Amino acid sequence: MQGSYGPPDRFNEEKATFAIRGSDTPDLEAGVAAIRNVVRTLPLKPGVYRMHDAKGDVLYVGKARALKSRVSNYTQFKNLTKRLQRMVSQTRSMTIVTTNNEAEALLLEAQLIKRYRPPYNVLLRDDKSFPFILLRADHDFPRIQKHRGARRAKGDYYGPFASAGSVNNTLNALQKLFLLRSCTDGFFKTRDRPCLLYQIKRCSAPCVGRIDKAGYDELIADSKKFLAGKTTDVQAKLGAQMQAASENMDFELAAVIRDRLRALTFIQGTQFINAEGVGDADIFALASHEGVIGIQAFFIRGGQNWGHRDFFPAHTAEVSEEEVLTLFLMQFYEEVPPARTVLVDRALPDVEVLAEALTTQAGRKVAIEVPQRGTRKRLMEQACRNAKEALERRLAESTTQAKLNREVADLFDLAEPPQRIEIYDNSHIQGTNAVGAMVVAGPEGFRKGQYRKFNIKQAATDDDFAMMREVLTRRFARALEEDPDRDGDTWPDLVLLDGGRGQLNAAKAVLEDLGIEDVCLVGVAKGPHHGREGREVFHLMDGRELTLPVNSPVLFYLQRLRDEVHRFVIGAHREKRAKAMGASPLDEVPGIGPARKKALLMHFGTGRAVRNASLADLQKAPGVSAGVAQQVYDFYHAK
């Protein structure tokens, strides 16, 4: 097997669910009984098991070399940690999937953890995908571009890069160095003269024939050498070309090559980690303090440093550091292809199985090693230092954030510091393209994976209060439906509304209608000095109005929350407006695709003319059958 695994049903092995009915309250005896009921029928085969609570939600996903032996350990509750005892007490059923070997089980475990995000599994808490550089291969003059997401396009992918900034810097330098085009195929096809990128020496203008295919292919070959780490070959070649141009008195060409050499020097200067001779490697170092674990990842490709990133996995209490790192690696490589060598800072249990699983995933051999000497050892020491420093920064930030949350609780009379804050706003232009937005923040910062957009469907879009009522009604009605007992972490402790007393009253009415009485609402208005930062007025549910000193850290924090929802909702509104600008009245007609829509518009000129056309006129339009004409006519004239 290779690549990401699909749903468990893709496996040909047995799959079964065993359950025992019990009370909805956590009960250790009921949980042990449910597990024992499953153990009786389990084989001594490798596989993956899922533990479910009384509602069927996944509590934990685990893998085993021998399912019967592994799962039976959970019935020895006296030997379990407190964390596992809590998990067993909530367990009411299990799902079992057998696999061919332990490596397959490890791959499936990582995929299921990512899908269900169970509360008792170590989780890679990072919702950002990694950027790559894509050198496309579906055109005579290949395009170079930044790429995120599924790798479906035909071409060569180089990465991962640690951040958008690192890939953008490399792309800019590559354009200066190799003059490869970055425009879309449609833009390329319609050009009749070079664009600005040619003028500033960032493109060789193959669109208008300023370079032939053979010359462009040579640039492509050089760029692939460079991205593979063969920078010395590229530098020597450019140096020889510049020397030859100078000797031939072609100083203009020599200046162009000189600029390309400068771009190469810039890229080499940004590779501040000397990884010569390492080739392709991912480096991981773990640091821990006071129960918090941080992992530092370095990405080395072709001996070049492509950046580093910090990770702070969740749910690591009472889990060994070696197990945390193993689970982290499997989740990390669910979407990112592993390098040929994965360097870690400590010996891992079952490292052979982990290497086999990554080899299966990559479709080529992957080695996992603990460096002992030389360049690799020095790189690992640097990664360890970075991991420790990043963890110290994280702990310092969390201490500051915890203090801010306590002060927010004091300010708004909350019983405890808020673990989840939701901020709401809406945006429109004279009632058009109205959209609402929700931003979520917690002790660890903004939770961007939980942001939500709301297209306004029912409220009058020139009535801000009505729009807020619709947004909050949809949000909390769904919360009541999905988690009425508030067992999860999706209910807010504090709701901030961008607006004054009117918005607050609208929100209060919504919650009262839904029977929700214990969610704190606060309206954030600009105050008497409209538009001036630091003069915000906070409207409370009991009628009070609060202001804070202009240098208050809590005020800065609340402003940051409000500014984030502003940014998010304005971006959503602009996106909706841009789509609307390209929309046509014919988009609403069912069964009318792009070709027929174009044919009707070309024949009648405007969408209004199509709406007012008779059936006979519609039937005369080229490319429109009698059935389609009838469908369009009925759509506009049906009573």
Looking at residue 325, what is its pLDDT? Answer: 94
How far is the CA of 502 from the CAs of 95, 507, 522, in angstroms?
50, 9, 11
- Phi, psi (5° rounding) for residue 112? -70, -35
* CA distance linking residue 475 with residue 17, whole number of Å: 33
Residue 591's pLDDT band, with cuts at 50, 70 and 90, is low
Percent of the chain with pLDDT over 70: 86
Which of the four pLDDT bands, split at 50, 70 and 90, describes residue 3? very low
Please indicate whether residue 268 or residue 363 has the higher confidence score (pLDDT).
363
Q: Quick one: DSSP state of residue 430? A: T
The domains of the chain are located at: 8-116, 132-270, 281-392, 421-580, 585-637
Predicted confidence at residue 602, as pLDDT, reads 76
Identify the band that residue 28 occupies on the pLDDT scale cut at 50, 70 and 90: confident
Q: How confident is the model at residue 362 (pLDDT cuts 50, 70, 90)?
A: confident
Q: Which helix (H) or strand (E) holds 495?
A: strand 494-498
Listed residue (209, 210, 211, 208) closest to 193, CA to CA:
208
The whole-model pTM stands at 0.66
Do the domains 585-637 and 8-116 match in fold? no
pLDDT beyond 60 at 359: yes
Distance between CA atoms of residues 436 and 570, nearest Å: 9
Average pLDDT, integer, range 522-550: 79
CB 524, CB 494: distance < 8 Å: no
Between CA 98 and CA 109 the distance in angstroms is 11
**Whole-number average pLDDT of the chain:** 82
Encode burial over 368-403: b for 16+ CB neighbours within 10 A, e otherwise: beebeeebbeebbebbbebbbebbeebeeebeebee
607 Cβ neighbours under 8 A, 6+ residues apart? 584, 585, 586, 601
Q: Look at residues 312, 281, 278 and name the one whose alpha carbon lies nearest to residue 296.
A: 312
pLDDT, tens digit, 9 for 90 and up, residues 40-49: 889 899 999 9
Over residues 242-259, the mean pLDDT reads 75
Residue 273: its pLDDT value, please?
Answer: 52
pLDDT at 71 over 60: yes
- pLDDT(329) > 90: yes
pLDDT of the residue at 128: 63
Q: Which of 116-130, 265-279, 516-530 has the lowest mean pLDDT?
A: 265-279
What number does CATH give the domain 585-637? 1.10.150.20
User: What is the topology classification, in CATH, of domain 281-392?
Assistant: Nucleotidyltransferase; domain 5 (3.30.420)
Position 127 pLDDT exceeds 60: no
Asked if 621 contacts 629 with a C-beta cutoff of 8 angstroms, the reply is yes
Q: Which range has the top average pLDDT, 17-21, 49-53, 635-639?
A: 49-53
- Kindly state the average pLDDT of the residues 438-459: 86
Exposed e or buried b for every residue in 6-16, given b needs 16+ CB within 10 A? eebeebeeeee
Query: How large is the angle between the packed helices 28-39 and 82-90, nearest 10 degrees?
Result: 80
Quick one: pLDDT band at residue 638, thresholds 50, 70, 90? low
**Average pLDDT for 503-528:** 88
13-17, 141-145, 230-234, 511-515 — which is least confidently predicted?
Answer: 13-17
Strand order across the beta sheet in which 304-311 lies? 304-311, 292-301, 281-289, 341-344, 367-369
Q: Are 170 and 307 in contact (CB under 8 A)?
A: no
- Which of these ranges, 131-135, 417-421, 628-632, has the smallest mean pLDDT? 628-632
For the chain, give percent helix, strand, coil, nearest 5.
Answer: 45, 20, 35
- The pLDDT tens digits for 178-215 are 888 888 888 888 888 888 888 888 888 999 989 999 98
What topology is assigned to 421-580 in CATH? Nucleotidyltransferase; domain 5 (3.30.420)
Letter for the amino acid at 224? K
Q: Is the pLDDT of residue 552 over 70?
A: yes
Read off the pLDDT of each residue in 222-235 and give the average, rounded to a whole number: 73
The reported pLDDT for the residue numbered 309 is: 87
Question: What backbone phi and psi angles, to 5 degrees, belong to 101?
Answer: -155, 175
pLDDT at 171: 83
Res 190: pLDDT: 85
Rounded to an integer, what distance in angstroms lies between the CA atom of residue 503 and that of residue 506? 5
How far apart CA 95 and CA 13 sit, in angstroms, is 13
Question: 583 CB contacts (<8 Å, ≥6 apart)?
Answer: none
Judged against a pLDDT cut of 90, whether residue 254 lies above it is answered with no
Q: What is the CATH code for 8-116?
A: 3.40.1440.10
Secondary structure letter of residue 364 according to DSSP: S
- Which of the four pLDDT bands, split at 50, 70 and 90, describes residue 8? very low
Alpha carbons 195 and 197: distance in angstroms, whole number: 6
